[in-house]
Amino acid sequence: MLKTFLEKAANDQSVYITDVRETFQAQGVRPFHLHVTLYDRSVRAFDLRLPETAGEDEEKFVAEYVYANVYNLLSSLGGVGIDVYLDKSDKAALDLAQGLDQVFQLERTKTARTGYGKCLNVNERILEVLFSGEEKFSFGVHDVKEEPKVEPPSGVTGQPVFSKLPAMTQGRMLLGMDIGGTDVKLAVSVDGQLALCKEFDWFPASYPLAEQITGPLLLLARLLRAAGSLYRAGRQDEIDQTSLGKHATLAEMERGAETMERAAGADLRSFDAIGLCFPDVVIQNRIVGGETHKTHGLRANSELDYEEQFAEITALNSRLAAYVVEGGPVMNTNDGPMAAFAAAVEQAAGGGDVSRGFFAHTLGTELGTGWVRPDGSIPEIPLEVYNFIIDLGSHVQRGYGSDDARSVNNVNTALPGTLQRYTSQSGVFRLAAKWLPEKAPEVLQEAKDKGLFRWEGELLTVPTQPEDMRKPCLEFFMNQAAAGQPVCQEIFREVGEYLAVTWRETGYILKPETPDRTLFGRFVKLPACFALMCEGAGRREPALRQYAADSGLANTLLMKQLDAHPDYTVAQFAQAVGAIYYGCLGLNP
């Protein structure tokens, strides 16, 4: 079995961790049980089995499999510690377990950690928030004879809250913010009506200062507060439409905010609540991750202390509070849970079953993941599914640097095989760069002629300077697929296959109550591309049911108004509207 996996990897084929685990669990004879102590002190057990190995290559593959399992657990669940239970007479397994401290770099500082150790940076920041630095993550190694019994996780009980939220928009002015890696989308609700929408393009990964990230977000809140106040006062004609345009500069938005504030005068009022989602780990309303591509520029700025800079981003909620009424809530979560939350509210409004909660993905700059429990709660865990290692193969593509469009290596950690390079826009770029030269060179040439791909020496990139071409590049391949171009169609089927592997892996680790997935983001903007992804997913997992967050999602009044909007779509702005409802969670009924 190991020989087959190694041959596929050497031939640059994917070797999915789910397939490896299924084989190892069926044929492995060496226990390597992982007990994860979660933040609430509960324990989850993952009883891995390892096969016998022959030779260095097989030993290395099994070690990568173990590291990937540990990494996926920490990236999604986090924890206070992981205990390994094994046969201590198995020297190879014992060495593997005892080496986890070094592989995951427990004793290194955050700035010195690389690869697998990066997930512990996020975990340490969460432990600091939850336990004020009194807890330190650790690995423990024990004989399997000492293994305690662990009960499976119990379900959550409680009444869903989703159906109560739309009515709470009445009589209030509310702001929803969907903060992404290439753009920010905002929606304002005034007395239960969708009053304003705003889109702002940016590239936070290139910014070396925290203020370059927080500043535009605060300005956008200020701008929308002024415009919303005029709308609320029935003075829509005085709204500065130029500053609300998609291509408005920061200077134009600041002038627009000042102009509308002066015009509003006594009619200027603050939001009753702000709901927002941020593309990073959010625990207890605070942004605590700090290892995503969005803060790459900050991490690369050696002239400033990264932890001090990131603390300014952690404090975003408190600064946004300047734009809400005294005591008003600012409710923050990750963009993935926001997608699931938005779906839950709309399903409830349409009379759908909300008893099993919701699980959603956003497909765009990254793969976002959202999980809302049946009672409406969002688990306080990292849930960085985009960091999951799903592919232990593809060895040729491992040879390209992380900045190369052809690479399977994560741009933040350099680890190969993570979902970042499979199910997000980077996955489409990688597959296009891999398949088009041989199968459809004319399409690749057209992409180059349009400036969507560019050679920089031996590096193939999608340019971000002087103009960010990532979004146009994705739209180009989506349009090609929708028009029937065979290779581009297969690209989106392949992305669907990766989503099927993701479904299997998230089911194994997280055990969500619902088996279904709702997909948000640019990938589902075109029905043809969504259909292709579903087709590809069905090749691996016929039982997987996926739903597009399109006009069919629109059941509440705000979402129906968005669906009818001449300039914006549900696929684009559903999370911004969902954020309005999420902000209502902090209001008194």
Is there a domain that residue 366 lies in?
Answer: no
Residues 189 and 264 in one domain: yes
Is there a domain that residue 359 lies in?
Answer: no
Mean pLDDT of 512-534: 92
Is there a domain that residue 153 lies in?
Answer: no
Predicted confidence (pLDDT) at residue 153 exceeds the cutoff of 70: yes
Residues 293 and 438 in one domain: no
Q: By residue range, what is the domain housing residue 116?
A: 2-146
Q: Give the tokens for residue 498.
A: 């990766």
Specify whether the backbone of 79 is left (phi greater than 0), alpha (psi in -120 to 50) or beta. Answer: left
Supply the pTM of this predicted model: 0.83
Residues 243 and 380 in one domain: no
Residue type, 98: Q
- What is each CA distance from 140 to 64, 147, 153, in whole angstroms? 19, 12, 22
Q: Give the tokens for residue 213.
A: 């990230």
Average pLDDT, the chain: 94
Residues 484 and 459 in one domain: yes
Is there a domain that residue 407 lies in?
Answer: yes
CA atoms within 13 A on the CB side of 580: 33
Residues 395 and 453 in one domain: yes
Predicted confidence (pLDDT) at residue 156 exceeds the cutoff of 70: no
Residue type, 405: A
Strand runs labelled E in 65-179: 81-86, 138-143, 173-179
In Å, how far from its chain's centre is CA 550? Answer: 19
Residues 127 and 170 in one domain: no
Is there a domain that residue 19 lies in?
Answer: yes
Is there a domain that residue 427 lies in?
Answer: yes
Residues 140 and 168 in one domain: no
* Per-residue pLDDT reduced to its tens digit, 482-516: 999 999 999 999 999 999 999 999 999 999 989 99
Residues 325 and 381 in one domain: no
Alpha-carbon gap, residue 306 to 503, rounded angstroms: 34
Residues 169 and 238 in one domain: yes
Residues 235 and 328 in one domain: yes
- CATH number of the domain that residue 536 is part of: 3.30.420
Query: Which helix H or strand E contains 196, and what residues bound it?
Result: strand 193-201
Is there a domain that residue 202 lies in?
Answer: yes
Alpha-carbon gap, residue 525 to 551, rounded angstroms: 10
Is there a domain that residue 560 lies in?
Answer: no
Q: Give the tokens for residue 259.
A: 């102009």
Residues 380 and 524 in one domain: yes
Alpha-carbon gap, residue 252 to 55, rounded angstroms: 64
Number of domains in the chain: 3
- CATH number of the domain that residue 275 is part of: 3.30.420.40
Residues 314 and 280 in one domain: yes
| Contact status, residue 365 vs residue 309, Cβ threshold 8 Å | no
Q: Which of 89, 116, 146 delimits the end of a domain?
A: 146
* Per-residue pLDDT reduced to its tens digit, 82-128: 999 999 999 999 999 999 999 999 999 998 999 999 999 999 999 98
Helix/strand number for the chain, H first, E second: 21, 17
Q: What's phi and psi for 451, nearest 5 deg?
A: 80, 20
